[in-house]
Amino acid sequence: MTVSERGVLLSWIERTGTHAVLKFAERTPSGWTEPKQVAAGSDWFVNWADVPSVIRLADGSIYGHWLQKSGASTYAYDVRLARSTDNGNTFSTSFTPHQDGTQTEHGFASLFQMPGAGLGLVWLDGRAMKSGGHDSHESGGEMSVRGAIYDRAGKQISEAPIDLRVCECCPTAIAVTADGPIVAYRDRSPEEIRDIYVSRLVAGKWTTPGAVHADAWKIAACPVNGPALSADGKQVAIAWFTAKNEEPHAYLAFSANSGTSFAAPIRLDDVGALGRVDVQLLGNGSALATWIEFADGKAQFKSRRVESSGNKSAAFTVSSLGASRASGYPRMARFGNEVVFAWTETGDMPGVRAASMRLPVTSTAK
């Protein structure tokens, strides 16, 4: 889900065999609009973690992104973008934000409104993984995270690396602070420490990445569990998952300086977590966070309110979920005093479900 001045956009993929269709609907005071189609194809790379998105920019234009195969290798695929200037009724011919031309991985994109321009996005880029294989990264080079910016007419005006060695398949996150965009992702050190890092776009350049917190989670594999970001002025909230010492938990941390530094982590789960977090600042110094709680062999999509002081409300259950990867990444979005939750239901009739709640007018977690 993404949020614009008009409200919340929810996007999803429908599949029939190998044919995939990216659709979206918009939340209005009277409910969800009729779904519209962004693009369709039979050569897409569709999976549970690296999901497409649709975003409306300040000028009303709408961008959609998805993943499309670029070669015969399993992990040869590109990020594809399309733009609409007629409220999503039609979309442009698709294009890529990367021009390396390699048949390697390009995915886990996060789209955002670039202040003073048009579309901005970041993504994981495997152009240095010369063998072209996700499973052969040890001998094939490093995964990187890169960013690009487009002007209001849809023309790319920049593309640049942010970090040249990152975790291969953890989703990225981005938010826009009063001082500009901040991106979060899972880093990968030479010692296989895979903690959450951030970088900020300052004066047109990405700052040297730094860790949100020294979890020191050492794992010689990708956990496929990315961070979530929310920004309001100079305040930033970030949520993430870590499992150091085989203790899987979800955490949240606040920043009061646009992400230059973060306070100590605050644990979100009560027993244990599968991660797959999300977070939204509430405009009063607190944040609403979501995660998948895992206890007694059961998975639940849970949420609670957290204050920068560390005070937490009681956690509440949005929905029960399947514990497998098929349940995907539950999402949350806030527009005004309404919070919308969305998740994937598995089973005999899989589909996307949504629920909403109204926020109380209060500055304390209750």
Helix (H, G, I), strand (E, B) or coil at 327: helix
Give the least confident one: 14-23, 200-209, 348-357.
348-357
What is the model's pLDDT at position 328? 87
What is the model's pLDDT at position 131? 58
Q: How many CB atoms lie within 10 A of CB 353?
A: 13
Segment 170-179 shows an average pLDDT of 98
What is the model's pLDDT at position 347? 79
103 and 39 share a domain? yes
Segment 94-108 shows an average pLDDT of 97
171 and 160 share a domain? no
What is the model's pLDDT at position 136? 47
**For residue 151, pLDDT beyond 90:** yes
Residue 90 has which token pair? 């039609």
| Mean of all residue pLDDT scores within the chain | 94
**For residue 229, pLDDT beyond 90:** yes
Q: Which helix (H) or strand (E) holds 240?
A: strand 235-242
83 and 13 share a domain? yes
Q: In angstroms, rounded to a whole number, what is the distance separating the alpha carbons of residues 129 and 109? A: 18
Q: How many CB atoms lie within 10 A of CB 96?
A: 18
The last residue of one of the domains, among 165, 194, 223, is: 165
Give the least confident one: 117-126, 159-168, 299-308, 353-362.
353-362
Query: What is the band of 135 on the pLDDT scale with cuts at 50, 70, 90?
Result: low
233 and 124 share a domain? no
Q: In angstroms, rounded to a whole number, what is the distance separating the alpha carbons of residues 307 and 237? A: 10
Q: In angstroms, rounded to a whole number, what is the distance separating the alpha carbons of residues 313 and 87? A: 39
Q: In angstroms, rounded to a whole number, what is the distance separating the alpha carbons of residues 30 and 262? A: 39
**For residue 323, pLDDT beyond 90:** no
Amino acid at 220: A
Q: Which helix (H) or strand (E) holds 140?
A: helix 137-140
> CB neighbours of 278 closer than 8 A, spacing ≥ 6?
228, 239, 289, 290, 291, 329, 330, 331, 332
Segment 57-79 shows an average pLDDT of 97
The last residue of one of the domains, among 165, 180, 211, is: 165
The last residue of one of the domains, among 165, 194, 210, is: 165
17 and 161 share a domain? yes
Segment 10-24 shows an average pLDDT of 96
**For residue 174, pLDDT beyond 80:** yes
Segment 180-203 shows an average pLDDT of 98
pLDDT: which is higher, 39 or 283: 39
**For residue 146, pLDDT beyond 90:** yes
**N- to C-terminal Cα separation, the chain:** 26
What is the model's pLDDT at position 366? 36
What is the model's pLDDT at position 361? 61
> CB neighbours of 302 closer than 8 A, spacing ≥ 6?
269, 290, 291, 292, 293, 315, 316, 317, 318
356 and 293 share a domain? yes
Q: In angstroms, rounded to a whole number, what is the distance separating the alpha carbons of residues 162 and 166? A: 10
180 and 210 share a domain? yes
Residue 300 has which token pair? 């639940």
Query: What is the band of 349 on the pLDDT scale with cuts at 50, 70, 90?
Result: confident
What is the model's pLDDT at position 262? 98
Segment 168-187 shows an average pLDDT of 98
Q: What is the CATH number of the domain that holds 294?
A: 2.120.10.10
**For residue 243, pLDDT beyond 50:** yes
Q: In angstroms, rounded to a whole number, what is the distance separating the alpha carbons of residues 218 and 5? A: 41
Q: In angstroms, rounded to a whole number, what is the distance separating the alpha carbons of residues 38 and 99? A: 22
In the numeric block, the tokens 């390396």 are attached to: 100
In the numeric block, the tokens 């009681």 are attached to: 314
Query: What is the band of 137 on the pLDDT scale with cuts at 50, 70, 90?
Result: very low
Query: What is the band of 362 on the pLDDT scale with cuts at 50, 70, 90?
Result: low
Q: How many domains does the chain have?
A: 2
**For residue 37, pLDDT beyond 50:** yes
What is the model's pLDDT at position 68? 98
3 and 113 share a domain? yes
Give the least confident one: 33-42, 139-148, 244-253, 299-308.
139-148
28 and 74 share a domain? yes
Share of the chain above pLDDT 90, in %: 89
Q: Which domain holds residue 211?
A: 167-366
Q: Do β-strands 235-242 and 228-232 pair in parallel, antiparallel, or remain unpaired?
A: antiparallel
What is the model's pLDDT at position 232? 97
15 and 100 share a domain? yes
The burial of 25, by beta-carbon neighbours within 10 Å (0-12 exposed, 13-18 middle, 19 or more buried), is given as buried
224 and 341 share a domain? yes
Helix (H, G, I), strand (E, B) or coil at 326: helix
pTM of the model: 0.95
261 and 216 share a domain? yes
Query: What is the band of 111 on the pLDDT scale with cuts at 50, 70, 90?
Result: very high
Residue 211 has which token pair? 């860790």
